[in-house]
Amino acid sequence: MGLPIFNILILFLLLKFSHSVTSDSSEEAYALLNWKTSLQNQNLNSSLLSSWTLYPANATKISPCSWFGISCNHARSRVIRINLSTLGLNGTFQDFSFSSFPHLVKLNLGFNLLFGNIPPQIGNLSKLQYLDLGNNQLSGVIPPEIGKLNQLRRLYLDVNQLHGTIPPVIGQLSLINELVFCHNNVSGRIPSSLGNLSNLALLYLNDNSLFGSIPIVMGNLKSLSTLDLSQNQLNGSIPCSLDNLSNLDTLFLYKNSLSGPIPSVIGNLKSLLQLDLSENRLSGLIPLSLSNLSSLTVMSLFNNSLSGSIPPILGNLKSLSTLGLHINQLNGVIPPSIGNLSSLRNLSLFNNRLYGFVPKEIGYLKSLSKLEFCANHLSGVIPHSVGNLTGLVLLNMCENHLFGPIPKSLRNLTSLERVRFNQNNLYGKVYEAFGDHPNLTFLDLSQNNFYCEISFNWRNFSKLGTFNASMNNIYGSIPPEIGDSSKLQVLDLSSNHIFGKIPVQLVKLFSLNKLILSLNQLFGGVPLEFGTLTELQYLDLSANKLSSSIPMSIGNLLKLHYLNLSNNQFSHKIPTEFEKLIHLSELDLSHNILQEEIPPQICKMESLEKLNLSHNNLSDFIPRCFEEMRSLSWIDISYNELQGPIPNSTAFKNGLMEGNKGLCGNFKALPSCDAFTSHKQTFRKKWVVIALPILGMVVLLIGLIGFFFLFRRRKRDPQEKRSSSANPFGFFSVLNFNGKVLYEEITKATGNFGEKYCIGKGGQRSVYKAELPSGNIFAVKKFKAELFSDETANPSEFLNEVLALTEIRHRNIIKFHGFCSNAQHSFIVCEYLARGSLTTILRDDAAAKEFSWNQRMNVIKGVANALSYLHHDCIPPIVHRDISSKNVLLDSEYEAHVSDFGFAKFLEPHSSNWTEFAGTVGYAAPELAYTMRATEKYDVYSFGVLALEVIKGYHPGDFVSTIFSSISNMIIEVNQILDHRLPTPSRDVTDKLRSIMEVAILCLVENPEARPTMKEVCNLLCK
């Protein structure tokens, strides 16, 4: 309900003349009401702030003291506290009258949706002691006027989007008690004036872009209990002046670029509880003085370049719960005194150069939960005392020189979840060390010398997801009971001496996605029931003695991307059911006894990149459909009985073909196919195989040419136009479907292209969703009739897309099903992708939050693969010319598919390739301003913009030019670009995102010749 007109007038007059009247609580009330009306989410605030009202209207004085979130002094006359945190307030401070609250002591507006700048008028709150504006969306600089708040004791500006330097005037806040700037975009150096804050207790400058060294004057902050400068770009050494901070209990300097030694004076900070200097460039020895920190609970020095030995005197730190020294260059032995750390829960020493034995004193650490010694030079046996660590969850001793059996005492560790003993010299009977481990999810025993059978009680491993015992001396058969470990996802028993048949009980492992049994002595056939392992993605049965035919049921493993059945004794023919393996990227059937022809159905494996059919008894002609397999990059058909012409495909040009007596072609020193013309009978027998695909292409080409002239005639001759409508189907080409039936079903499924079924519009076309009675769902792109009917119109966009899509096949390019053009409709039929365009997902906050970092990186790589294919694997090369987020579609698995080839350009080798402007503003390369020559570098630039957009969450805009100034200094701050709607990525993911960002920036250089090719981009992204 709105305010009465009379009250609104009073509110206006009071605010208008507020500087000329005596300040009282009425002025404060009207100031609050004025700010409330400026907030954007009134519906939300109407209930939460319903007590904020002018009623009763006849009151002589309006007091806000009873309003929600407002507190007044004892006389209930003046506002001293405003607490409106976590209410979802959405607005700015533009209409907040700070001067109306001279008595305000506390202002808490944290955890809201406030945006815009912090106005300088905030300096008028002269009595303010507590200010919390954290966890909002504030931007701009921190106003220097905050320095006027000389009563301030606590300041929270964390988790915003503030930038600029921290104003030196903050150093004048002599009574400040707490200062927080974490999770902003603050940049610049730490001002030395901070050293004036002698009463400061808490200082948080973490998660910003601060650079330079830590000021020596930080040592003046003698009241400081917490100093957090983590996750910045600070360099230089840690100042020794920090030893003056005698009250310090928390020192966080991690994730910077600090160098030099750890100053020994840190050992003087007797109150220190947490010390984290990890992920810097610190070098030198671990100071002995750190042993003086008797209250220390956390010591994290990992990921530096520290050297020397672990000081035995660190055993004095009885309160230590976490000791992280991993990823350094430490050497020497693990000191037995480490057994004195009775409170220790996490001990990480991996990736160093430690040698000697694992001390038996490790068994004294009864509170230990995580023990990690991997990637050192440790030797000797694993001490029996490890069995005393009954609370152990993670045990990693991989990549050392340990020998002997795994101690039986490990049976006591029923809390174990992850165990890695791989790459040692361990031997003995594995099953003696593992009994009832109901929590175990990961067990890696690979690359040892275990000589035994794998006779576990598999029912006791109810949560086991990964079991790797490869590269040992394991013998016996695969126990059928392994099927009882129902959660198993990865099973690797390769490179052992296992014999017998593959037990059919493996089909009970419904979660299995990786099965490796290669390099054993298995015989018999592959169980037909394997077709029920529908989650399987990786299957390697190579180098065994398996025989019989390859079961057709393998065609049911629709998620397979790797299949290796090589070096066995499989006979008969290659199953035609392989055509269903559309995600398979590598297939190896070499060194078997396979016979008959290569089935043409294999060409339907559209993701196939590597194919090895060598050393078999395959005969007959090679199917010409291999020419359509655009993803195929390498093939080996050597040592078979194949004959006839080699398909015109890059894969065959780079492949292996020796050992066949009847092949011909124009490369690899093969004889010319003219030498085989005398074999007329053979030719007649195979004319269908060769002639029909060629005939089909000729018919399609003639149809497209006729289709073009038909439109020209249709425009010139209305009578012909009317007569052409007698044929309702016009030109129609459909892959794998009946053209007439599909045309009728599409028009029916879209209600004759009714608005109800439209899912997108743009330019001269609209897109419709067509769900057919068969269950097939298509996206139908219909072009406007004006594009074909007007005399001056040019249907080249339609023709371009049809011509391009008929030539290309790639897993990251939208699948083409056909086209139609007649007097009524002209449309293109493609696959329907459930998640729609990349633009749609990035603009929807809910969808963007579900679009994870790994999925985003895969999308970027997918687009890169598609462009590399267009530029380097198509003949002639194709330039898309309109790469943008609206033209990248995602399927249900977030796999990227490039679409919209209406502006595509075929690059002819002996042509200037001049062209008109095409593309989307914001993605178009800068050279379009002075040249109209189409090159692949068009797409390279657009890809760079797109990659940044996916990482940032929205189009980078002017950020593209801004980022080049960072490149000149070789500083790339990923945190400035990341989409803040997603959680902060792990360090590993952050490094990958940084690499992608660096590649994207290379694509955006102004000189097109200096940009990498898309093939080079793909190689860089794969590193």
Residue 463 lies in a domain: no
CATH of the domain at 234: 3.80.10.10
CA distance 558 to 584: 8
Query: Do residues 292 and 267 touch, judged by C-beta distance below 8 A?
Result: yes
Domain boundary among 256, 287, 308: 256
Query: Do residues 291 and 268 touch, judged by C-beta distance below 8 A?
Result: no
What is the DSSP annotation of 567-620?
SSEEESPPPGGGGG-TT--EEE--SS---SPPPGGGGG-TT--EEE--SS--EE
How many residues can be counted in the chain?
1023
Q: In the structure encoding, which two tokens stand for residue 393, read together?
A: 């969850």
Contact partners, residue 859, CB within 8 Å, separation at least 6: 838, 888, 890, 894, 895, 896, 950
In this structure, the answer to whether residues 29 and 89 fall within a common structural domain is yes
In this structure, the answer to whether residues 912 and 1017 fall within a common structural domain is yes
Residue 425 lies in a domain: no
CA distance 64 to 79: 8
Q: In the structure encoding, which two tokens stand for residue 888, read together?
A: 């990248």
CATH of the domain at 803: 3.30.200.20
Residue 1013 lies in a domain: yes
In this structure, the answer to whether residues 811 and 879 fall within a common structural domain is no
Residue 153 lies in a domain: yes
CATH of the domain at 996: 1.10.510.10
Segments of 374-456 assigned E as strands: 377-380, 394-396, 401-404, 418-420, 425-426, 442-444
Contact partners, residue 383, CB within 8 Å, separation at least 6: 357, 358, 359, 360, 362, 363, 407
Domain boundary among 804, 831, 858: 831
Residue 371 lies in a domain: no
Segment 578-618, tens digit of pLDDT = 999 999 999 999 999 999 999 999 999 989 999 999 999 99
Residue 70 lies in a domain: yes
In this structure, the answer to whether residues 825 and 957 fall within a common structural domain is no
Nearest to 111 by CA among 138, 130, 129: 138
Query: Do residues 896 and 866 touch, judged by C-beta distance below 8 A?
Result: yes
C-alpha pair distances (Å), 92 with each of 118, 120, 139, 144, 897: 9, 13, 11, 19, 41
What is the DSSP annotation of 676-715?
GTT-HHHHHHTHHHHHHHHHHHHHHHHHHHHHHHHHHHHH
Residue 280 lies in a domain: no
For residue 655, give the 3-state DSSP assignment: coil
Q: pLDDT at position 156, please?
A: 75
CA distance 656 to 590: 12
Q: Which residues of the chain have pLDDT under 70?
A: 1-24, 42-47, 55-60, 75-76, 147, 162-197, 667-669, 674-741, 763, 785-796, 823, 908-918, 929-933, 958-973, 976, 1023
In this structure, the answer to whether residues 985 and 867 fall within a common structural domain is yes
In the chain, the number of structural domains is 3
In this structure, the answer to whether residues 847 and 818 fall within a common structural domain is no
CA distance 120 to 420: 58
In this structure, the answer to whether residues 913 and 950 fall within a common structural domain is yes
Nearest to 975 by CA among 955, 991, 954, 958: 991
Domain boundary among 780, 814, 831: 831
In this structure, the answer to whether residues 33 and 52 fall within a common structural domain is yes
In this structure, the answer to whether residues 211 and 67 fall within a common structural domain is yes
Active site residue ranges = 882
In this structure, the answer to whether residues 791 and 923 fall within a common structural domain is no
Whether the model pTM is above 0.75: no
CA distance 189 to 627: 60
Residue 394 lies in a domain: no
Q: Domain limits at 984?
A: 836-1021
CA distance 230 to 210: 10
In this structure, the answer to whether residues 968 and 892 fall within a common structural domain is yes
Contact partners, residue 478, CB within 8 Å, separation at least 6: 454, 493, 498, 500, 502, 503, 506, 517, 522
Query: Do residues 70 and 94 touch, judged by C-beta distance below 8 A?
Result: no
Contact partners, residue 59, CB within 8 Å, separation at least 6: none
Q: CA angle at residue 795 from 789 to 801, to 5 degrees? A: 145
In this structure, the answer to whether residues 859 and 972 fall within a common structural domain is yes
CA distance 932 to 729: 38
Q: What are phi and psi of 430, to 5 degrees?
A: -60, -45
Q: In the structure encoding, which two tokens stand for residue 503, read together?
A: 């037990």
Output 29-34 pairs: Cβ under 8 A, ≥24 positions apart: 29/54, 29/62, 29/63, 29/64, 29/67, 30/62, 31/96, 31/97, 31/100, 31/101, 32/64, 32/67, 32/70, 34/95, 34/97
